[in-house]
């Protein structure tokens, strides 16, 4: 989702930059650096070529301190705005056979079944009441379609054995969410949302539904242009990782829930093409 990157902005520009990035006021609560696992990832030529071979846009790749639900930090690759890869997930990606595959979805899908999903309620990573309602709406979006995957939702802190956990990240600037893609037939487990406290519940529903979409294998429907972000950045080449799903538009689909960026007017619902795509895959 929409993110602003302050990392290499010179001091003089900071004032300007802060206008696009809701600076958060809770910096003093930020876990200190010793929480970071010391297996720091590196962006080598080999890493870049693995992502490129899998049709990811590496133009904004970075290594970020990714916050787990319990507040600890872990080094992960971040790219295409809201997509994270752990070291293990990257390893899986590098071993994928990319000679088979399809669509505006990833090379990996989730094995059909009932998935467990939990809304995290612990400490500073807890979902607010409004966010919990939005999560219920997002789960309802999927369950209403009678797909080969559906979700059972609970709330609490016991997330380790759940297929997905949705939690709040108080340290992230801007507003949006993050996720990753499935591996080994399992959905991406960790879904963060942040900076959404002042948005309508339908917008939060949109963000969670979007991130759940990544977690079951959907890429951005505007991967070719990121037009929804006001950019013209191609996220990758058509081919293995991003061939259109039959019956859905190949051009810009202005109401798809899988657009890269969102606005404050989102209604949180799938459009008809999103539903065609979900029924095609699941």
Give the H/E segment covering residue 62.
Answer: strand 62-67
- Candidate segments 44-52, 78-86, 147-155, 228-236, binder of Zn ion by CB under 5 A: 78-86
Name the residue nearer to Zn ion (CB basis): 21 or 71.
21
**Nearest distance from residue 268's CB to Zn ion, in Å?**
15
Q: Count interface residues toward Zn ion (CB under 5 A).
A: 1
**C-alpha–C-alpha distance, residues 94 and 279, integer Å:** 28
**Nearest distance from residue 261's CB to Zn ion, in Å?**
8
Give the H/E segment covering residue 47.
Answer: helix 45-53
Q: Please state, as a whole number, how many other Cβ atoms lie within 10 Å of the Cβ of residue 25.
A: 8
Bridge partner residues of 83 (DSSP):
79, 179
Name the residue nearer to Zn ion (CB basis): 153 or 207.
207
8 Å CB contact between 162 and 118: yes
Q: Please state, as a whole number, how many other Cβ atoms lie within 10 Å of the Cβ of residue 256.
A: 23
- Candidate segments 9-17, 74-82, 133-141, 186-194, binder of Zn ion by CB under 5 A: 74-82
Question: Which among 84, 55, 87 has a CA at the least distance from the CA of 179?
Answer: 84
Quick check: 163 binds Zn ion (CB under 5 A)? no
Give the H/E segment covering residue 133.
Answer: helix 129-143
**Nearest distance from residue 84's CB to Zn ion, in Å?**
11
Name the residue nearer to Zn ion (CB basis): 82 or 274.
82
8 Å CB contact between 55 and 242: yes
**Nearest distance from residue 23's CB to Zn ion, in Å?**
23
**C-alpha–C-alpha distance, residues 77 and 252, integer Å:** 27
Question: Which among 279, 237, 251 has a CA at the least distance from the CA of 144?
Answer: 279
Name the residue nearer to Zn ion (CB basis): 122 or 174.
174
**Nearest distance from residue 219's CB to Zn ion, in Å?**
8
- Candidate segments 11-19, 76-84, 129-137, 261-269, binder of Zn ion by CB under 5 A: 76-84
Q: Is 84 exposed, middle or buried (0-12, 13-18, 19+ CB in 10 A)?
A: buried
- Candidate segments 80-88, 119-127, 180-188, 222-230, binder of Zn ion by CB under 5 A: 80-88
Which of 65, 74, 82, 172 touches Zn ion by CB under 5 A?
Answer: 82
Residue nearest Zn ion, Cβ-based: 82
**Nearest distance from residue 229's CB to Zn ion, in Å?**
10
Residues of the shown chain interacting with Zn ion in the complex, contacts defined by CB under 5 A? 82
């Amino acid at each position: 989702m929409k993110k602003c990157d302050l990392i290499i902005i010179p001091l003089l520009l900071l004032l300007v930059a802060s206008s696009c990035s809701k600076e958060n006021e809770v910096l003093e609560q930020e876990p200190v650096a010793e929480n970071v696992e010391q297996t720091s990832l590196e962006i080598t030529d080999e890493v870049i070529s693995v992502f490129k071979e899998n049709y990811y846009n590496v133009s904004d790749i970075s290594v970020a301190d990714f916050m787990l639900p319990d507040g600890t930090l872990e080094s992960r690759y971040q790219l295409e705005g809201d997509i994270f890869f752990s070291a293990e997930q990257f390893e899986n990606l590098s071993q994928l056979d990319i000679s088979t595959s399809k669509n505006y979805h990833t090379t990996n899908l989730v094995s059909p079944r009932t998935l467990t999903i939990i809304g995290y309620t612990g400490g500073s990573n807890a979902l607010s009441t409004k966010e919990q309602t939005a999560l219920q709406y997002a789960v309802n979006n999927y369950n209403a379609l009678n797909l080969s995957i559906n979700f059972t939702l609970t709330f609490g802190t016991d997330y380790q054995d759940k297929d997905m956990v949705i939690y709040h990240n108080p340290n992230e600037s801007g507003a949006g969410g993050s996720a990753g893609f499935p591996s080994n037939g399992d959905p991406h487990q960790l879904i963060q949302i942040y900076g959404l406290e002042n948005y309508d519940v339908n917008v939060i529903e949109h963000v969670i539904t979007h991130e759940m979409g990544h977690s079951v294998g959907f890429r951005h429907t505007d991967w070719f242009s990121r037009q929804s972000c006001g950019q013209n950045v191609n996220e990758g080449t058509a081919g293995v990782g991003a061939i259109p799903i039959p019956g859905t538009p190949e051009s810009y689909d202005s109401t798809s829930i899988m657009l890269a960026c969102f606005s404050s007017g989102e209604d949180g619902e799938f459009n008809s093409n999103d539903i065609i795509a979900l029924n095609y895959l699941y």
